[in-house]
């Protein structure tokens, strides 16, 4: 079980496509393994992965080349980090889906 948010720029993953355990995001073609949280395909924009390694921008085969973004946009892309997909342990027991999700910490007074 996972959040409905891409670990790149928070697009709803429910709009993407599922191939086995890998969900593909519609916004920048990033793909993420639901069983491990790892990135299967890096987003087209490039940037930093969860470990801080840089990945270059890329384009789909046969797609027309995109114009180079402005320097500030290119710099922002290069420094944008794609995190590991957060997922939560889940099981189906007696026909009921059970998931362990973190406790909410906002809006709670101590």
- Positions that interact with ligand FES (CB under 6 A): 6, 8-9, 11, 25, 27-28, 30, 43
Nearer to ligand FES, 81 or 91 (CB): 81
Rg of the chain on CA atoms, in Å: 17
| Smallest gap from residue 29 Cβ to ligand FES (A) | 6
| Residue 47 CB neighbours (<10 A) | 22
Pairing of strands 96-99, 90-93: antiparallel
How many whole angstroms separate alpha carbon 2 and alpha carbon 76? Answer: 27
Nearer to ligand FES, 1 or 11 (CB): 11
Nearer to ligand FES, 1 or 5 (CB): 5
């Amino acid at each position: 079980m996972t959040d409905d948010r891409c670990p790149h720029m928070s697009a709803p993953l429910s709009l993407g496509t599922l191939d086995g355990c890998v969900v593909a995001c519609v916004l920048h073609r990033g793909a993420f393994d639901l069983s491990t949280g790892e990135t299967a395909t890096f987003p087209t924009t490039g940037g930093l992965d969860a470990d801080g390694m840089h990945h270059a921008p890329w384009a789909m085969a046969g797609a027309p080349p995109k114009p180079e973004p402005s320097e500030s946009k290119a710099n922002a892309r290069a420094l944008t980090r794609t995190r590991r997909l957060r997922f939560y342990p889940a099981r189906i027991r007696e026909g009921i889906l059970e998931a362990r999700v973190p406790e909410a910490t906002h809006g709670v007074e101590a």
